Amino acid sequence: MSTLIHDIHIAQSEPLPEPRLLREELPAGEVEAAFIASARAAIRSILRGEDDRLLVIVGPCSVHEPASALDYAARLREVARSFADDLLIVMRVYFEKPRTRMGWKGLIYDPTLDGQGHIGEGLRQARHLLLECARLGVPAASEILDLVTPQYYAELLSWGAIGARTVESPLHRQMASALSAPVGFKNATHGGVNTAIDAIHVAAQAHRFPTISLEGKATVITTTGNPDGHLVLRGSNDGTNYGADSVRSAALALQAAGLPMRLVIDCSHGNSSKNHARQSHVASDIAQQLAGGSFSICGLMLESHLVEGRQDIVSGRAGLRYGQSVTDACMGWETTVDVLQDLAQAVKVRRKG
């Protein structure tokens, strides 16, 4: 009898569909592909200073309810059209949640919200939702957390993020070098921006690393590097970094690193002290900086849903309030529209100035 030395802590194993098969089941047609490519090009123009509009990435902290997410997307489409001269609005469609300890890990990992897993179904729902956003004409953004799942849906994103907990990860940096969309790198939880600046440089370089192919097989790819990495200020455990002094300091750090002095500000997380009601105050401060002539700020992020606040998952989907977050608390829809109006007006003032 041989001594067991492998898979000691594995209780169960189940196959995932090949990425190719899921793409064939839920394909992106030419219309959807052209829309996503156009949205990426518009975002790049803003990041490079060729377009003076403000990039606004707004939407639920995480998607737990595809129906309310599509409801939000339909509303956002109409608002985006009305502000299109001044704002490029992209919807947050986050499927994976990094957890400091334990908690619901996102739609991909637990689509039924009951801890049963069903990751294959989660990937299917995620891809379907992104396709529906593209058909509505709403660009989509998401944090790239897992190293395997992007093969199932990442080609449908117009913008991606590497979060504060993974920005130091060499694996996430090289993965970002392969992504087709612009990628924002958040400052680390301790607040320093140099880690994110290093990540931008690393992701812009060519890499060779193992991953899975569209057929689900282990493969090695060589990337060309992603030239559209940029800094996202999200505050820290110790305070905020959205104020004019912090923005100026971050812009100078980018310049010293040979990078464009252009950045995005996350109005939630450390910048709102994890208080959703403070997001509008943060956005108001940013609007004042824009109206005052700041061109370093090229975008911002907001956590917003149909209903203000958050709720706990008690028994799967049972009893949940429609359109309210189950992770971080979000601004409500009406407040969101007011904030977008103020930002659009600030962009107009900056343009005239």
Domain locations along the chain: 19-352
Question: Taking residues 277-287, what's their average pLDDT?
Answer: 98
Best CA proximity match to 160, nearest among 138, 140, 178, 142: 142
Is residue 107 within 8 Å of residue 56, measured between CB atoms?
A: no
The CATH number given to 19-352 is 3.20.20.70
Residues 9-26: tens digit of each pLDDT? 998 888 899 999 999 999
**Nearest CA-CA partner of 103 in 343, 312, 351:** 312
Percent helix, percent strand, percent coil in the chain, to nearest 5: 40, 15, 45
The predicted-structure confidence for 39-84, as pLDDT tens digits, reads as follows 999 999 999 999 999 999 999 999 999 999 999 999 999 999 999 9
By the 8 A CB rule, do 158 and 136 touch?
no
> Length of the chain in residues, anyone?
353
CA distances from 247 to 72, 134, 241 (A): 31, 33, 7
Tens of pLDDT, residues 116-147: 889 999 999 999 999 999 999 999 999 999 99
How many angstroms separate the CA atoms of 349 and 337, rounded?
19
Q: How confident is the model at residue 99 (pLDDT cuts 50, 70, 90)?
A: low
CB proximity list for 153: less than 8 A, separation 6 or greater: 95, 123, 126, 127, 130
What contacts 80, CB < 8 A, 6 or more positions away? 87, 89, 138
pLDDT in tens, 299-342: 999 999 999 999 999 999 999 999 999 999 999 999 999 999 99
The structure tokens listed for 3 are 């001594």
| CA 309/CA 325 separation, integer angstroms | 7
Is pTM beyond 0.85 here?
yes
